[in-house]
Chain A
């Protein structure tokens, strides 16, 4: 399972993302996010963008990654559906993302922000598990 949604509170969306590696968990988290923003299966990977970022820890890096994706979607007026992490460490990420011009027909809802409510970034024997809640 890449991710699952959790029914938790009265005004947010919460999901948990899994990945055997850092690469996987970052890619899966992006997919979970855009499955909230748009009808991701209908969004074609027509054009790509590159994202590079740094943070102080893997947890912060994940938070910033999702926040950056929300902002990029707004700024460029695009929906994204395919995510490939090219290089990743605990503090640095380089990724290529694909998508197409946004249109309300393929939209779902406006995600305002990632929040710290219930946010966690954990690693265990099986890999990574991240819990994210969104303000929508």
Chain B
């Protein structure tokens, strides 16, 4: 399918509606040459599959971190008409509201480096991580429901988060319309014990320093003033609760495909008409998982602050540890977008994609041991990508292949040689997240910046890495 891509700019490619049968929308990919080289043909094919779905609004977007995913690639956006379109659990991803919180400090790397080992160890003590780690919170069923409905509002009430944290969270940490009665008992049971846990796999907590600041004016507004300033990046999602919601509704929507007689090019694209019970129930349940994930990261933010307090013997406020922004990158949202000059409400499915509205923060996480970026959203993103940008580097090698190829202990010592302190529950997790298993984050960021769908504000490099 890649051979059919037409280049329409240095950082932009398109497939028109004639690229395959039944395509009702264009596919657009944001990528420079290096990134395009690394994108799999199968992933491009997946974009065209999505372009055949009912009510799809052109274009289906592939971002530079795109790689093969379930139904839709990770690093992609699909928008659907709010009356005639579909809504899909598969197009949202298994880890609903997997996302990133970026927290600033007023400490410099010179102050933090001597205490880095102690700090990483302290974070490991305070934040449950890895498969099988026990959560520290004991929530009753009613309290869990409260989390699902109110998200970060719950966290503020319980003194885990501040009002300022809430203001600096996408959707202000709470999607309206979350309905716990649409979440299965199994999902509730899976999620109950896991609130306030990091999980494993590609989830991480990183201590970083600012390495350069391409946009000082914006950076300053967002609390970043100088190189060497220490930042904290927290990447995780909705844990078992979100995974179960996704699994439950994939099954429900498989049935809906038959019930509503929807033609699918790929079984993985199970979906339901937007205004059917199967569609709206998913949306209401997904919002619960979204709120849970926002609360999850807010709770861990408090523990990050406490860990810093324990190590540096200063109050977190005094160390300037404020949330720069908290974003989601697996989510479905009902948004207004301009389509062919007209304003329309569309269900935007962002899967491994970050919201990039004008002047809002966009966070792109690099692979382990590599740089990460803070960017700002643009009007161009509203025109080209339904207000979306990339979310990370994007894998080029399966976890399984990475484990076979790399030794976790060697990865850890490689990081150490570069002065990066790392700690994981066991070495394999380091191997599967080896930087070589990912695209080059610089090429990904150059692509979104070049295309103008988000612009570089600050670049961060890791000092310490904690993995589940």
Contact = CB atoms under 8 A, between A and B. Distances in A.
B440 to A, nearest CB: 15
Contacts of B425: 104-105, 107
A102 to B, nearest CB: 3
B190 interface: yes
Contacts of A117: 70, 268
Interface string B228-256: 00000000000010011011001000100
Contact of B395 (A8, A10, A104, A108): A10
Contacts of B134: 77, 102
B4 interface: no
Given A104-B130, A109-B432, A116 B67 contact: no
B292 interface: no
B201 A13 contact: no
A104 B268 contact: no
Interface in B92-133: 94-95, 129-133
A105 B134 CA distance: 12
Interface in A98-123: 102-110, 112-117
Nearest to A78: B132
A71 interface: yes
- A11, A39, A103: which has the most chain B beta carbons within 10 Å? A11
B186 interface: yes
B129 A104 contact: yes
Contact of A38 (B68, B131, B243, B432): B131
B32 to A, nearest CB: 20
> Which secondary structure dominates chain A's binding surface?
mixed
Interface stretch (B379-387, B397-405, B444-452): B397-405
Contacts of B361: none
B399 A11 contact: yes
B199 to A, nearest CB: 5
A108 B426 CA distance: 8
A107 B427 CA distance: 11
B292 to A, nearest CB: 14
B132 A102 contact: yes
A113 B68 contact: no
Contacts of A77: 132, 134, 193
- A7, A103, A108: which has the most chain B beta carbons within 10 Å? A108
A135 B94 CA distance: 7
Interface string A1-38: 00001011111111000000000000000000000011
A41 B400 CA distance: 19
Nearest to B404: A7
A90 interface: no
Contacts of B133: 102-104, 107
A39 to B, nearest CB: 8
A106 B132 contact: yes
A82 to B, nearest CB: 17
A107 B131 contact: yes
B190 A110 contact: no
Nearest to B428: A108
B453 interface: no
Contacts of B468: 104, 110
B40 interface: yes
- A103, A105, A135: which has the most chain B beta carbons within 10 Å? A135
Contacts of A71: 186, 189-190, 240, 244
A133 to B, nearest CB: 9
B244 to A, nearest CB: 6
B194 A74 contact: yes
Interface in B179-226: 186, 189-190, 193-194, 199-201
Contacts of B129: 104
A74 B200 contact: no
A83 interface: no
Contacts of B267: 116
A75 B190 contact: yes
B206 to A, nearest CB: 18
B69 interface: yes
A136 interface: yes
17 contacts: A7-B401, A10-B67, A10-B396, A11-B67, A11-B399, A12-B398, A37-B131, A74-B189, A75-B193, A75-B240, A109-B399, A109-B428, A109-B432, A110-B199, A113-B94, A113-B243, A115-B70
Given A8-B398, A110-B200, 9 more contacts: A9-B68, A10-B396, A70-B243, A71-B186, A75-B193, A77-B134, A102-B132, A107-B133, A112-B95
Interface of B: 40, 67-70, 74, 94-95, 129-134, 186, 189-190, 193-194, 199-201, 240, 243-244, 246-247, 250, 254, 267-268, 395-401, 404, 425-426, 428-429, 432, 468
Interface of A: 5, 7-14, 37-39, 67, 70-71, 74-75, 77, 79, 102-110, 112-117, 135-136
